[in-house]
Chain A
Amino acid sequence: MKFAVIVFPGSNCDVDMYHAIVDELGAEAEYVWHDEDNLDRFDGILLPGGFSYGDYLRTGAIAQFSNVMREVKKAAEEGKPILGVCNGFQILLEAGLLPGAMRRNASLKFICRQETLLVENDHTMFTSLYEQGERLQIPVAHGEGNYYCDEETLQMLEKQQRIVFRYCNNPNGSIANIAGIINERGNVLGMMPHPERAMDTLIGSADGVKLFQSIVKSWREQYVLSS
């Protein structure tokens, strides 16, 4: 399985993402610059954190119109797994691949610390190796992670079990303690916390490993075992 790590001007978690895939998971990954217009050679797409285009106008607002985002939308339609972390999540929201929007943290502070997440849905291609109700230690690092959507959208997300992760101690004011959501088809996940920074107990937590392993497991079941 080969992953694309998309790099925008201002991405800064791309190296962590690449390290998580290549060194910790032992899978293949390649950095892909934002003006690339073909992602056909990849099986999974990773949108890393950072400050694409300096967070100008709104977080993720300008990145959504990069060449590569047309390809990301195409990959989403093809059912390929797409993971957006932090700024990657913000870009997925702006691009309309996930519903809702981000506001400034309620405290107005940039928050950078370990948070406890609750696994709400373990029936996704990103969480199949976790247990529902499992608590994960995953770091957050953001100034605009205060998730918002209208009441109707929230009810839909709840009903369709599309809230994949919730914060145990909401750090940023997100409605319904939302830390991560998935699209209706189940192949696009956006989350503010950084699983790629929780790959080794030596630096605090290895609770992010199973997320990436779940993606690979799902891909193997779909393509390798059936061929």
Chain B
Amino acid sequence: MYKVKVFVTLKESVLDPQGSAVKSSLHRMAYHEVSDVRIGKYLELTIDGPAESLDHRIQEMCHKLLSNPVIEDYRYEVEEVVAL
């Protein structure tokens, strides 16, 4: 079994109005050191499948559904879960 952590973020070239709003809020709270905020998504998948096709299938999932390649990038981390 694998636990896969997927991080989906807006591409650098795409403005993030939510991030901008959060940044202004942090500035109003006097955290002036914050120069940028970008909001993304974090997904955890538990996968029960063979190791060989794992990367390929995760990339397929990210490309087809979990992210929108027009505006988003993704990266992921795979953790093997050992059953006790």
Contacts and interface: CB of A to CB of B under 8 A. Distances in A.
B68 A108 contact: no
Interface in B34-76: 41, 65-66, 68, 70-71
A149 B70 contact: yes
Interface string A76-104: 00000000000000000110000111011
B70 to A, nearest CB: 4
A217 interface: no
A21 B24 CA distance: 46
Given A61-B65, A65-B65, A173 B70 contact: no
B81 interface: no
A103 B65 contact: no
Contact of A103 (B17, B21, B66): B17
A57 to B, nearest CB: 7
A104 B15 CA distance: 10
A57 B61 CA distance: 13
B68 A94 contact: yes
Contacts of B17: 103-108, 146, 173
Interface in A92-150: 93-94, 99-101, 103-108, 146, 148-150
Contacts of B29: none
A61 B68 contact: yes
A213 to B, nearest CB: 33
Contact of B14 (A93, A107, A148): A148
Interface of A: 57-58, 61-62, 65, 93-94, 99-101, 103-108, 146, 148-150, 173
Given A61-B65, A103-B14, 19 more contacts: A57-B66, A58-B68, A61-B68, A62-B65, A65-B65, A93-B70, A94-B68, A99-B70, A100-B70, A101-B70, A101-B71, A103-B71, A104-B18, A105-B17, A106-B15, A108-B18, A148-B14, A148-B70, A173-B15
